[in-house]
Amino acid sequence: MKKGRETTIDRYRRYLQLEKSQAANTIEAYLSDVAKLVAFLEPLGKSTLDATSDDLSAFLADLADVGIHPRSRARILSSLRSYYSFLRLDDYISENPTDPLHSPALGRHLPDVLSLDEIDAMINAIDLSQPEGQRNRAMIEVMYSCGLRVSELCSLRFSDLYLSEEFMRVTGKGSKQRLVPVSSRAVSELQAYFLERSRVNIRPGYEDFVFVSERRGKSLSRITVFHIVKELVAVAGIAKQVSPHTLRHSFATHLLEGGANLRVIQSMLGHESISTTEIYTHIDRTRLREEIIEHHPRNNPQRRQKR
């Protein structure tokens, strides 16, 4: 049964919100990609409901012609697959035109990884005489030891912490929650930070957020965390392209180098698909071998004794 395009888009938005529990940013990205297809089809006198596989192939070819990166084209195709799966599920169409389509070859992208010494150099570059020093120390340690996304770090709340059991509850993409072990070192850094945090004037509504701004009394923003990481990398003299996500990559790589099962890493990172996690199997295993003895460096008692 065919229905108006706007109604279709509106219902697809509600489907993503209510049935798929997708994050707002993800929903907007999906709808933006569908809008690109709508703009392509309009001069052809077609809507998304009567587009064929050939139309979609032409659309993807057009994206390639204007220089859109294969990774971006693959993401757009993924968005279209989601949209057309919804249309098929709700009987707007009888066949899914994305079924015959293949994702563009992406090549292999290996993310930058920090060694344990480089991570320690970042932490040691923090000036503990500054009001935010211990907060930043705890923040870097938690991001690395727990493999958190920057958004997960910024949204972390006291009600998510179970430090006596050395676990935390993390809310990831699509509001999906997972339990993540917390290293004893991260627990120690957090407890030291809490003493400093008790002196901060927290604004109403932000009392439950773990990481807050010393000056504003509000939860930290992603931009602030990016700035802090960039500054520490510069002070530590690390000549790599580093972002908060690099700490997450390093966490996963160190676990894999230590022998952790890929499914365990998938669970820890909150990846929905194992294929997302498998990128870490392609990282050169010789780079970190000398530093990894147990499944995670923070669990190496010999290294802890040297500190």
Active site residues: 149, 173, 245, 248, 271, 280
| Token pair belonging to 247 | 């700490």
Query: 145 with 137: CB under 8 angstroms?
Result: no
| Token pair belonging to 238 | 């690390």
The strands making up 177-181's β-sheet, listed across from edge to edge, are 161-162, 167-171, 177-181
Query: 142 with 228: CB under 8 angstroms?
Result: no
| Token pair belonging to 233 | 């990398």
Distance CA 48, CA 6 (A): 11
Instruction: Dihedral sign for Cα 8, 41, 44, 86, please.
Output: negative
Which DSSP state fits 99? Answer: T
Exposed, middle or buried: residue 200 (CB in 10 Å: 0-12, 13-18, 19+)? middle
Q: CA separation (Å) from 246 to 61, 144, 233, 256, 260?
A: 33, 9, 11, 15, 19
Q: CA separation (Å) from 252 to 35, 98, 242, 248?
A: 35, 33, 15, 6
